[in-house]
Amino acid sequence: MIIAVDGPAASGKGTLARRLAGHFGLPHLDTGLLYRATADGVLAAGGDPEDAAAAAAAAARVDPGRLDTARLKRDDIAQAASRVAALPAVRRALLDLQRAFAHQPGGAVLDGRDIATVIAPDADAKLFVTATPAVRATRRLNELQGQGRPAIYADVLRDLLARDARDSQRASAPLTAVETALILDTSSLNADEAFDRALAFVVCAQSSR
């Protein structure tokens, strides 16, 4: 079974995807880390995240088995990630490994922005996780402060809105919900409630396969 989980930043899609993967005993891929690793590669080499050739070369060097999640979750890397992610050459370079991960025997859970639209349009269950910008900014702020990183709400909200705009307005694989997805607005749901609703939907999709 393939489960596709898409949504904007700090919507709760990562937590939900991990819990679904644990529940069904499926492997999970946080595809955002691939774009973050690409951006990290460009920045570490002193390059410009909007230089398509440099970014595509960095994408080709991404090793999904060696991703330093703690480092890649940094906010400067997130902003650069949404810049490299707008480049078709980068998306092409990361396509095959994501499709192969999704279509491995037994299936998988993937979260990102284009799982249901591009990576696995044939997914058995598609979820689009969202929440209001204010709720998402508060979540991200708490996450950063919990990691001991000083952060200001207004800055977090501004960065998040900038990334939302880039991710949904780009020409290549923009963030959008497919018609058959469950739209899960987690603005007033805690992680357990979001999981329960998603699980009910996935079980239903699974039984009608």
**Which candidate, 74, 90, 206, places its Cα nearest to that of 151?**
74
CB atoms under 10 Å from CB of 106, counted, come to 10
Stretch that binds ligand CDP, among 28-36, 57-65, 126-134, 147-155 (CB under 6 A): 28-36
Q: Provide the pairing of β-strand 125-130 with 182-185.
A: parallel
Shortest distance in whole angstroms from residue 113 CB to ligand CDP? 4
How far, in Å, CA of 21 to CA of 29, rounded? 9
End-to-end CA gap in the chain = 9
Shortest distance in whole angstroms from residue 31 CB to ligand CDP? 4
Tell whether residue 74 is a contact of ligand CDP (CB under 6 A): no
User: Residue 108 carries which side chain, given as an amino acid letter?
Assistant: A
Of the residues 36, 74, 126, 139, which one makes contact with ligand CDP according to CB under 6 A: 36
**194 with 184: CB under 8 angstroms?**
yes
Of the residues 16, 81, 116, 129, which one makes contact with ligand CDP according to CB under 6 A: 81
How far, in Å, CA of 118 to CA of 113, rounded? 9
Tell whether residue 28 is a contact of ligand CDP (CB under 6 A): no
Stretch that binds ligand CDP, among 43-51, 55-63, 107-115, 192-200 (CB under 6 A): 107-115
Tell me which residues in 126-165 interact with ligand CDP (CB under 6 A): 163
Stretch that binds ligand CDP, among 31-39, 42-50, 51-59, 189-197 (CB under 6 A): 31-39
Task: Cite the beta strand spans of the chain per DSSP E.
Answer: 2-6, 28-30, 108-112, 125-130, 182-185
Of the residues 167, 184, 194, 202, which one makes contact with ligand CDP according to CB under 6 A: 167
User: How many residues are recorded in the chain?
Assistant: 209
Of the residues 78, 137, 141, 202, which one makes contact with ligand CDP according to CB under 6 A: 78
- Tokens 């050739």 locate to 53
Tell whether residue 117 is a contact of ligand CDP (CB under 6 A): no
Which residues are at the interface with ligand CDP (CB under 6 A)?
Answer: 9-10, 14, 31-32, 35-36, 78, 81-82, 85, 112-114, 163, 167
